[in-house]
Amino acid sequence: MEDKKIVIYTSTTCPYCDMAKDYFKTKGIPYEEKSTAEPENRKKLVSMGIRGVPAIFVGENYFVGFDPVEIEKMMAQPGETVEAIVEQEIVPEEVAPVAAVEEEIQIPAEDHSVENVQPEGIKGEINMTKYICQVCGYVYDPAVGDEDNGIAPGTSFEDLPEDWVCPLCGVGKDQFEAE
């Protein structure tokens, strides 16, 4: 395998971030860690459209989540065969579901204006300000809502229940700032 620079963007509350770091340490593969607790690191991810951690960069390529097979593929030379990991070797908690979440929050290329996502019966202006989790970089977008957790599109951040938490890292609303 070619030596490619590895950079991992992590959060202090992310167990998959710890698993990714342990993976590289165990394999003796050097990496650079960048914490999303640092504003410049958080802004870099958000500017690239990355909304979750761990964000693992191998050379110029990256993916979000922790998947040992994906890491091996990205580290391989073009045309090089990657030794497959047998299913029994992967413990389910070693594969982060974060990458799937990242795909689910992508907005399809269609009209998502407030008029089209505002539930019927709601009158007046809705604050459509996006809020960024200061721990992991997740962006709450009122136009999209958080349907996996029962939050309908068109729900402003202010109207989220007080017990609502970041769907990626689990911190409360107090850890979010307006974009």
Report phi then psi at 46, rounded to 5: -60, -40
Question: Which CATH number does the domain 112-179 belong to among 1.10.3720.10, 3.30.460.80, 2.60.40.10, 2.20.28.10?
Answer: 2.20.28.10
pLDDT in tens, 22-47: 999 998 999 999 998 888 988 888 88
pLDDT in tens, 54-82: 999 988 888 888 888 888 888 876 665 55
Answer with the residue of higher pLDDT: 171 or 94: 171
* Fold type of domain 6-77: Glutaredoxin (3.40.30)
Core vs surface per residue 120-159: b (16+ CB within 10 A) or e: eeeeeebeeeebbbbbbbbbbbbbbbbeeeebebbbebee
Helix (H, G, I), strand (E, B) or coil at 21: helix
Instruction: Enumerate residues 6+ apart whose C-beta is below 8 A from 100.
Output: 65
CA 32 to chain centre: 18
Instruction: Enumerate residues 6+ apart whose C-beta is below 8 A from 135.
Output: 11, 12, 13, 36, 37, 166, 169, 171, 175
pTM as predicted? 0.49
**Average pLDDT value over all residues in the chain:** 77
Can you give the residue ranges of every domain in the chain? Answer: 6-77, 112-179
pLDDT in tens, 105-143: 444 444 444 444 445 444 456 788 999 988 888 889 999
